[in-house]
Amino acid sequence: MEHKFDIIIVGAGGGGLFAALEAVRTNPQVSIAVVSKLYPTRSHTSAAQGGVNAALANKDRDDTVELHVFDTVKGSDYLADQDAVDYLCSQAPEVVRELENLGAPFSRFPDGTIAQRPFGGTVKDRCCYCADKTGHTLLHTLFEQCLRRGVKFFNEYFLLSLEHADGECQGIVAMNMRTSAIEAFSAKIVILATGGHAKMYWNRSSNAAGNTGDGQAAALRAGIPLKDMEFIQFHPTGLRKSGLLVTEGARGEGGYLLNRHGERFMARYAPQKMELGPRDLVARSMETEILEGNALTSDAGSYLELDLRHLGAEAIKKKLPQIRELSMHFEGIDPIEEPIPVRPTAHYSMGGIDANMARTAVSGIYAVGECACVSVHGANRLGGNSLLDILVFGKRAGQEAALEAPRRPLRRVAPSALWKAADELKSYTSHERYERYGIIREEMGKTMADKVGIYRTEERLRQGVEEIRALRERFRHIRLFDTGTVYNTNLVQILELKNMLDLALCVAETALVRQESRGSHYREDFPRRDDEAWHRHSLCTLEKGGDVRLAHKPVTMGKYSLETRSY
Ligand X SMILES: Cc1cc2nc3c(=O)[nH]c(=O)nc-3n(C[C@H](O)[C@H](O)[C@H](O)COP(=O)(O)OP(=O)(O)OC[C@H]3O[C@@H](n4cnc5c(N)ncnc54)[C@H](O)[C@@H]3O)c2cc1C
Beta pairing, strands 340-349 & 372-373: unpaired
Supply the minimum distance, in Å, between the C-beta of residue 384 and ligand X.
5
Q: Please pick, among 204, 251, 279, 411, the residue that the annotation labels catalytic.
A: 279
Distance, in Å, from the CA atom of 387 to the CA atom of 190, rounded to the nearest integer, reads: 21
37 binds ligand X (CB under 6 A): yes
Which positions from 489 through 508 interact with ligand X, judged by CB under 6 A? none
Distance, in Å, from the CA atom of 367 to the CA atom of 356, rounded to the nearest integer, reads: 9
Q: How far is CA 72 from CA 141, 382, 452, 560, in A?
A: 27, 7, 25, 11
**Nearest residue to ligand X, by Cβ distance, number only:** 13
Q: Which is nearer to ligand X, 227 or 529 (CB)?
A: 227
Q: Of the listed pieces 306-314, 382-390, 444-452, 470-478, which binds ligand X according to CB under 6 A?
A: 382-390
φ, ψ of residue 526 to 5 degrees: the values are -140, 70
38 binds ligand X (CB under 6 A): yes
Burial class (CB in 10 A: 0-12, 13-18, 19+), 334: middle
Please identify which residue in 194, 259, 360, 510 interacts with ligand X, judged by CB under 6 A: 194
Three-state SS string over 131-172 comes to: CCCHHHHHHHHHHHHHHHCCCEEEECEEEEEEEEECCEEEEE
Residue length, the chain? 567
327 binds ligand X (CB under 6 A): no
Q: Of the listed pieces 35-43, 350-358, 451-459, 534-542, which binds ligand X according to CB under 6 A?
A: 35-43
Question: Which of these, 271, 305, 300, 273, lies nearest to 286 by C-alpha position?
Answer: 305
Please identify which residue in 27, 30, 32, 36 interacts with ligand X, judged by CB under 6 A: 36
Please identify which residue in 71, 214, 467, 516 interacts with ligand X, judged by CB under 6 A: 214
Please identify which residue in 106, 143, 158, 265 interacts with ligand X, judged by CB under 6 A: 158
Residues 45, 14 contacting (CB under 8 angstroms): yes
Please identify which residue in 95, 115, 191, 193 interacts with ligand X, judged by CB under 6 A: 193
88 binds ligand X (CB under 6 A): no
Residues 377, 80 contacting (CB under 8 angstroms): yes
* Binding track over 341-370 against ligand X, x by CB under 6 A: -------x--------------------xx
CB crowding 42-70: b at 16 or more within 10 Å, else e:
bbbbbbbbbbbbbbbbbbbeebebebbbb
- Alpha-carbon torsion, ordered 167, 168, 169, 170, to 10 deg: -110
10 binds ligand X (CB under 6 A): yes
Supply the minimum distance, in Å, between the C-beta of residue 534 and ligand X.
25
279 is annotated as an active-site residue: yes
48 binds ligand X (CB under 6 A): yes
Burial class (CB in 10 A: 0-12, 13-18, 19+), 415: exposed
Please identify which residue in 27, 76, 82, 134 interacts with ligand X, judged by CB under 6 A: 134
387 binds ligand X (CB under 6 A): yes
Distance, in Å, from the CA atom of 260 to the CA atom of 297, rounded to the nearest integer, reads: 9
Distance, in Å, from the CA atom of 26 to the CA atom of 323, rounded to the nearest integer, reads: 39
Distance, in Å, from the CA atom of 390 to the CA atom of 13, rounded to the nearest integer, reads: 9
Supply the minimum distance, in Å, between the C-beta of residue 89 and ligand X.
13
Q: Of the listed pieces 29-37, 140-148, 429-437, 460-468, which binds ligand X according to CB under 6 A?
A: 29-37
Supply the minimum distance, in Å, between the C-beta of residue 306 and ligand X.
15
Q: Of the listed pieces 162-170, 381-389, 456-464, 480-488, which binds ligand X according to CB under 6 A?
A: 381-389
Q: Of the listed pieces 205-213, 271-279, 313-321, 514-522, which binds ligand X according to CB under 6 A?
A: 205-213
Q: List Cβ neighbours of 509 (8 Å cut-off, separation of 6 or more).
A: 465, 540, 548, 550
Q: Which is nearer to ligand X, 54 or 540 (CB)?
A: 54
50 binds ligand X (CB under 6 A): yes
Side chain identity at residue 502, one-letter code: D
Supply the minimum distance, in Å, between the C-beta of residue 368 and ligand X.
7
Catalytic positions, written as ranges? 279
Could you list the residues that contact ligand X (CB under 6 A)? 10-16, 35-38, 40, 43-45, 47-52, 134-135, 157-159, 193-196, 206-207, 210-211, 214-215, 245, 247, 348, 369-371, 383-387, 390
